[in-house]
Structure 1
Amino acid sequence: MTNENAIKRILVCDDVADNSLLIKTILEAEDCLIEIVDSGAAVLTFLETYPNPPDLLILDIQMPVMDGFEVVQRLRESTKFQFIPILLVTSFDYELNNINSIKCDGFIQKPIDIDTVTSKVREILNRNS
């Protein structure tokens, strides 16, 4: 995805397994290493227990218990994880108004479009490499 030879590690979080698997399939074709979790709490647990943070977090907004906005807020308040680039995924237009008020690196809308995913991910990874 970038000019560097290092494989980019991406954490994908969506409570719908099919969405995560689609993103995983798209990005594995781009030589990325993908980890999948299915909840906001699982993102936080993964980050606390995994030795190295991912190069990017792709995060669904609409999830039960802890939504994507809360996950972003917690990460941005954390001195350890505030720098992780975040790409939000939404299926609702009204959420786009809230996206501009939080510190994320971009968003994509559902249904997921292959070209949009790859171009947004490349843009963010290249910006942060």
Structure 2
Amino acid sequence: MLRKSILICDDLVDNCIILQVILEMEGYKVECATSGREAINQIQLHKPDLLLLDVMMPELNGFEVVKIIRQDQHLQYLPILLITAYKQMIVPKLTHINVNRVIHKPVDSDDLVDIVHEVLQT
């Protein structure tokens, strides 16, 4: 059986590594990108089954990355989980952003695994 692939995009490498370890222990194939531009390039080369995307990043923030992805007809249905430390400011922006879920930092590993299983139906 093929393992589901997940791309994690966070400008803080430590956050990527923590999430990667949690998800690899669940049997997922995990890659990391440290910028929105890098994530978009990786997705266009090899579409993952799921994108975990930090909101606050330099250059391209998570909202901008989602907008670019959703404009690509081959990627418009890619499941995306937004990860953010901000609770208040994100709600108004979400009305215009098509993502599957929002996960708040600090990320609870059990919640993360449950949400990923639910979105990927694994």
Residue equivalent to 2:118: 123
1:66 equivalenced with 2:47 (yes/no):
no
1:87 equivalenced with 2:68 (yes/no):
no
CA distance in 2, matches of 1:15, 1:68: 11
Alignment gaps of 5+ in structure 1? none
Q: CA deviation at 1:16?
A: 0.4
- The alignment of Structure 1 onto Structure 2 pairs a total of residues equal to 121
CA distance in 1, matches of 2:90, 2:114: 19
Q: CA RMSD in A?
A: 1.3
CA distance in 2, matches of 1:8, 1:47: 14
Residue equivalent to 1:99: 94
CA distance in 1, matches of 2:117, 2:94: 20
The alignment-based identity, stated in percent, is 36
Residue equivalent to 2:44: 48
Residue equivalent to 1:77: 71
1:26 equivalenced with 2:22 (yes/no):
yes
Cα deviation per residue 1:66-109 (whole Å; 9 max; x = unaligned)? Answer: 00000001111111211110000000012331224310000111
Alignment gaps of 5+ in structure 2? none
The DSSP-based 3-state class of the residue aligned with 2:5 is strand
Q: CA deviation at 1:116?
A: 1.2
Runs ≥4 residues deviating over 4 A:
none
The DSSP-based 3-state class of the residue aligned with 2:106 is coil
CA distance in 2, matches of 1:40, 1:119: 25
